[in-house]
Chain A
Amino acid sequence: MRLLKYALNRNHAEPRFFNTPAELGDQYDVVIIGAGGHGLACAYYLSHYHDIHNIAVLEKSYIGSGNTGRNTTIIRSNYLTEDGVRFYDKSIELYRDLSNELDLNVFYSERGHYTLAHSEATMRTLRWRAEVNKHCGVDSRMVTPEEVKAACPEIDLSCGGNHPILGALYHGPGAVARHDAVAWGYGRRASERGVEIHQRCEVTALHTENGRITGVSTSRGKIATEKVVCAVAGSTPRMLAMLGIDSPISIYPLQACVTEPTKPWLDTIIVSASLHVYVSQTSRGELVMGASLDPAELHSSRSSYEFVAGMADQLLDLFPFLGESKINRQWAGMADMTPDFAPIMGKTEVEGFYLDAGWGTWGFKATPVCGMTMAHTVANDKEHELIEPFNLGRFDTMQLVGEKGAASVGH
């Protein structure tokens, strides 16, 4: 209908996505640091479901410039712990309806997800994941190499004779979505309810009084607020240092790349934990590929030749015919890794400071559920039941949520 309106009307101007005033205000009910998917989703759920509208989202660069725009857009819920599976499954439920909710096509495309096993040890972990998933009502099951071949005829099951595929974990709800659309969609809908999104506005200090948040200093002035949500991925250690909060987060670059476009041949998602590679094909025909983290801690999103060379080496074992393909672009994001490969969410020792961090290499898939649960946590000053296991305090009490076995590739 909207298209028809434009067909009949000479005035084609689309309204702007965001209506943010040029100047920063003096006071906000909630300040969200980081205008990535998580921060904007939190602003959306606060403004649409919790009746809080006086919100500023601060971004030191531009919308989605961090890991939101740098991931490989894979969405799945085949995790290892019940806490993890329940949480990510809720995210998939929200993703399925997201285009309607945001009135913007986020190109959510369910295409199945195969995690390949090349050793008995991997087969054991995958069987474990399949059983936990089934127990939680998630569609995951073990499949034979022949079933993998049927879904993806181009694959070399012997992997050049080096590490033959023994089986795979199939996960039906595995999907991809357009990452920019997710961030922009949440931002636009939040903006409709009065949320201000300030880009090029860097946080320089956080102010507290008697253990409570009182304000935020930025590169464009000081703001008074009692609630701050921190969703800044790779910059988390810098933010926590401002408040003197200890954390187990360390920053490692995660790199990815795309090939030149090819005809559609891959309509599923292929992951190999042992070969350290995951690949899917975009609607434009490019292959989006990623590998494991860089080997050493680094606070930088620089790319390296070692990554492409190492990843291509492994990928060609799976798909030898890609030998002629060319890499078009490569990039990196700063992944905030935690010891147990689960996020850190919820309240902190500083009252009014809410953390959404530790999203390492698994954050994009959780965007909607993070927004929803963080909004609930901020509005009620009480953690949403889905994120209770992910509290920062779990490291002090050794109640870890062991998700390392469910990371897309072995790290």
Chain B
Amino acid sequence: MKLIRCPVIGDCPANEFVYGGPIDTVDSQTVVTTSGKDIFHIDGSAAVKSEWWYHTPSQNWFIVTRNTANDHIETVVAAEEYFHG
């Protein structure tokens, strides 16, 4: 069973977490175009990406930095801390 190290309570089974997709790299409030290109096209490459992950038992959102080439998790930071320091 793969474990994800939660900064609050330590190692937790990966299936306690729900994937929430990558964080927006562009502020969605500033995008004014209505082209489908901006809505659908994404960065589908294999790279280290920052993503939303939700820990169901403790009901906390985290920002996880993960390499999508090999599933290696580099950092797990509470969302609050990630955005507001």
Chain A interface (Cβ within 8 Å of chain B)?
236-238, 241, 246-251, 295-300, 302, 304-306, 310, 339, 394-398
> Can you pick out 12 interface pairs between chain A and chain B where the beta carbons lie within 8 Å of each other?
A238-B45, A249-B44, A250-B42, A295-B18, A297-B22, A297-B44, A298-B68, A299-B68, A300-B69, A310-B15, A394-B36, A396-B35
Nearest chain B CB to A43's CB is how many angstroms away? 26
Q: Point out the residue from B18, B39, B41, B68 that lies within 8 Å of A297, measured CB to CB.
A: B68
A237 adjacent to B44 (CB under 8 Å)? yes
A sample of 5 more A-B contacts (CB under 8 A), given A246-B37, A295-B19, A306-B2, is: A248-B44, A299-B68, A305-B2, A395-B40, A396-B37
Q: Point out the residue from A298, A306, A339, A398 that lies within 8 Å of B15, measured CB to CB.
A: A306
Interface of B (DSSP majority class) = mixed
- The answer, yes or no, to whether B28 is at the interface (CB within 8 Å) is no
A71 to B72, CA, bound (A): 25
Number of interface residues of B (CB under 8 A): 24
B36 adjacent to A299 (CB under 8 Å)? no
A300 adjacent to B71 (CB under 8 Å)? yes
Nearest chain A CB to B71's CB is how many angstroms away? 5
Instruction: Name the residue on B nearest A310 (C-beta).
Output: B15
Please judge, given known A-B contacts A295-B19, A306-B15, whether A248 and B71 are in contact too, CB under 8 Å: no
B51 adjacent to A306 (CB under 8 Å)? no
Please judge, given known A-B contacts A247-B41, A295-B18, whether A395 and B68 are in contact too, CB under 8 Å: no
A394 to B68, CA, bound (A): 27
A305 adjacent to B44 (CB under 8 Å)? no
Contacts of B12-69 to chain A: CB distance below 8 A: 14-15, 18-19, 22, 35-37, 39-42, 44-46, 49, 51, 66, 68-69
Nearest chain A CB to B21's CB is how many angstroms away? 8
Please judge, given known A-B contacts A295-B19, A300-B69, A306-B14, whether A251 and B44 are in contact too, CB under 8 Å: yes
Nearest chain A CB to B68's CB is how many angstroms away? 5
A251 to B69, CA, bound (A): 10
Instruction: Name the residue on B nearest A250 (C-beta).
Output: B44
Q: Point out the residue from A248, A296, A297, A304 that lies within 8 Å of B40, measured CB to CB.
A: A248
A238 to B47, CA, bound (A): 11
A395 adjacent to B46 (CB under 8 Å)? no
Contacts of B40 in A (CB 8 A): 248, 339, 395
Nearest chain A CB to B55's CB is how many angstroms away? 14
A299 adjacent to B69 (CB under 8 Å)? yes
